[in-house]
Structure 1
Amino acid sequence: MKSSKNTSLGYIYAMQAFFAWGILPVFWKQVKHVSALEVLSHRIFWSFIFLLILLFWTKQKNTSQLLKQKQTRNSLICSSVLIGINWGLFIYAVNINQIVEASLGYYVNPIVNVLLGIVVLKEKLDKLKITALIIASIAVIYLTLDYGKFPWIAIILALSFGLYGLVKKTAGIEAIPSLSIETLLLTPLAAAFIIYKLIAGNGGFLVGSYSTNTYLMLTGIVTTLPLYWFAKGAQRIPLSAIGFMQYIGPTLMLLIGVIIYKEEFKKEQVIAFGLIWFALMLYTISMIRNTRKLKKN
């Protein structure tokens, strides 16, 4: 009974996380009049403040020890740069009405993970995953030819988050403590930029409306709370379930971009997204099969 309740709680946590990530574009639209770099600075600064509170609340006192180990410290420096790029580019994409392309990045991300697994971790793929990788690659090439330009926002989002996941996997550090150190490393730069904008008098914080001030301060909560929920959910439910649920976020982003913000979703994009959805279906089937095999063994 306790195990069943624990699993149910895990699904609730995971659903909350993916739903929150999916509707984030709506939040970033509320501060679209503030430059992406300033919003990113606030996102980093207030995330660090909120994470300090979260660490105190969860009684994790040994987080600072992570900086004392050279290999771990180097990994965290690398991951902090990658997550900074990912966060900043996503905010920028929303600001310039490219939510659809941003959602594509998060659809492509699992395939990037597979590719990184082959190249870096020397993982072997089954036929389904190889097929999924080929189909997704064709979709990206097709989309590039259709755009007449490389979909750089989608690809950089996918690569930065994929590399971020790779660094975290090889470092083997828990989500909340590692994110605390990552934001700690980025906070001096973020705080310096916020102060610069305040002194210059052309920033969005404390010189604009109360709502803008509130939204900028809330960037820390909307960034870290879904990650906390995801960490709690991932501990309680199967990996295959996480695999299925991870597409909730980009699907919501896509719907928000097209339905709410009236972004273009042409026939060629429908074809490309359809190919990627098919590739992801094959990828998920392969993951479920592998999970079942592991359970049997």
Structure 2
Amino acid sequence: MPESNRGVALGASAFLLWGFAALYWPFLSASEPSEILAHRMVWALLAMCVILLFARRGWSWLPAVLRSPRRLLPVAAAAVLISLNWWGFIYSVSVEQTLQASLAYFINPLMSVCLGVLLFSERLRTAQWVAVGLGVLAVAVMTVGYGVTPWLALLMASSFAAYGAVKKYVDLDGMQSLTVETLVMFLPALGFVVYLEATGAGTAFSVSPAHTALLVGGGFVTALPLLLFGVAARQVPLSIIGMLQYIAPTMMFFIGWLVQGEEMPLARWIGFALVWSALCVFALDQLSGVRSRSRARTRARLDLMAQEAEREREPEKHARPDNEE
């Protein structure tokens, strides 16, 4: 599979997992979002160690990264940004505002596209601009539907868009980058967990064994989609990543509406319809682009074959007069 197609598949898988995560964190409602976040950071490092073990990846690369501020700084920035995003998401689904999380990830692809154009000089085709325009209109309608400025959604959207952009500057593969990100946040998170348990405010071991297991499992729920996203972000343009991100908010939308029973006024229905219209335009443009690239590759192969045949005939032309003599 070509690298670009593999990157699209990995990115789509990451956002599917993020969509399902909206069902996971409400099971930890006995804990405050800040405590859940701390445990998420702690156990994410354990999850990455397990993943590295199964992938048979060594640790020889790590000391060089830790000794190099140039390589460590963007990874540390990514760790802080994703931590902000995690807290916002955990809080929103815990207080049954999953539709606001959905709005955040509808806004986020638009921010990713803009960052791709501004920072990396990515160019959008006409159909892609149409899709972005429909997305902007959808976000505007859904924002009006809330009646107030959705600060929580804006926090999640901006932090994750910036996270995707920073990953472009990380000189590590997806697995290595995520390992260092979790390592950077490990000690602060562990310190907070220890403080909570020492003061009696922690819930890790006082609720139930199932609750403890869910806190530990949060590390794997965190690490796997981030690992997939980290690989995808390095293989495909931010403009494509931005469009793939509509998968997660669509799932969150249905979870908030059908599972958690949040209200669905007309404005949100209109916004949802506009988002799907944007996705249809983008999908058709992508299909057209694949066909155009396939035809271009076919023409290139035919031209190459014709050139090789012409070169084979040239010696025969030069040899023919000698044979006649």
Q: In which range does the TM-score fall when normalised by the shorter chain?
A: 0.7 to 0.9
Task: Give the aligned partner of residue 187 of structure 2.
Answer: 188
Q: Which amino acid aligns with 1:60?
A: G
Whether contact under 8 Å (1:243, 1:284) holds in the other structure is no
Structure 2 equivalent of residue 31 of structure 1: 28
Shift of the alpha carbon at 1:81?
Answer: 0.7
Distance 1:107 1:148, change over 3 A: closer
Deviations 1:159-191 (A, max 9, x none): 211111111123243222111111111111111
Instruction: Describe the shift of the 1:132–1:78 C-alpha distance in structure 2 as closer, same or farther (beyond 3 A).
Output: same
CA distance in 2, matches of 1:112, 1:267: 25
Shift of 1:246: 4.9
CA separation of 1:242 and 1:158: change in aligned 2, threshold 3 A:
closer
Match of 2:133 in 1: 134
TM-score normalized by the length of structure 1: 0.85
Q: What is the match of residue 47 of structure 1?
A: 44
Cα 1:150/1:193, change in 2 over 3 Å: same
CA distance in 2 between partners of 1:30 and 1:165 (Å): 28
Residues 271 and 250 (structure 1), Cα distance of their counterparts in 2 relative to 1, 3 Å cut:
same
Matched, 1:68 2:71: no
Equivalent-residue separation in structure 1 for 2:232 and 2:136 (angstroms): 31
Aligned mates of 1:30, 1:150 — CA distance in 2: 28
CA deviation after TM superposition for structure 1 residue 92, in Å:
0.5
The offset of 1:106, in angstroms, is 2.1
> Would you say how many aligned residue pairs link Structure 1 and Structure 2?
291
Q: CA deviation at 1:235?
A: 10
Residue identity in the other structure for 1:27: Y
- Structure 1: distance between partners of 2:253 and 2:227: 24
- Between the aligned partners of 2:115 and 2:199, the Cα distance in structure 1 is 43
Identity of aligned residues (%): 31
For 1:229 and 1:140, locate their aligned partners in 2 and report how far apart those are by CA, in whole Å. Answer: 26
Q: Which has the larger radius of gyration?
A: 2
> Taking structure 1 as reference, are residues 160 and 180 closer, same or farther at Cα in structure 2, changes over 3 Å only?
same
Residue of structure 1 in register with 2:225 after alignment: 226
Question: Which whole-Å deviations, capped at 9, do the CAs of 1:17-49 have from their partners, x for residues lacking one?
Answer: 444322112110110121000000000000011
Aligned to 1:160: 159
Query: Equivalent residue for 1:283?
Result: 282
Q: Flag the 1:280–1:160 CA change in 2: closer, same or farther, 3 A.
A: farther
Change in CA separation of 1:125 and 1:172 when aligned onto 2, cut-off 3 Å: farther
Contact kept? 1:66, 1:73, Cα under 8 Å: yes
Two-structure CA RMSD over aligned residues (Å): 3.2
Contact 1:135 1:276 in 2 (8 A): yes
Cα contact 1:43–1:220 (8 A) shared by 2: yes
Which consecutive residues of structure 1, in runs of 5 or more, have no partner in the other structure? none
**What does residue 305 of structure 2 align with?**
none
Describe the SS at the equivalent of 1:263. Answer: coil
Distance in 2 (CA, whole Å) between partners of 1:255 and 1:31 is 20
Matched letter for residue 256 of structure 2:
G
Matched-pair contact (CA < 8 Å) for 2:109–2:243: no
Hey, what's the Cα distance between the residues in 2 that align with 1:180 and 1:241? 25
Residues 137-216 of structure 1 mapped to structure 2, 5 A cutoff: 137-216=136-215
Partner of 1:255: 254
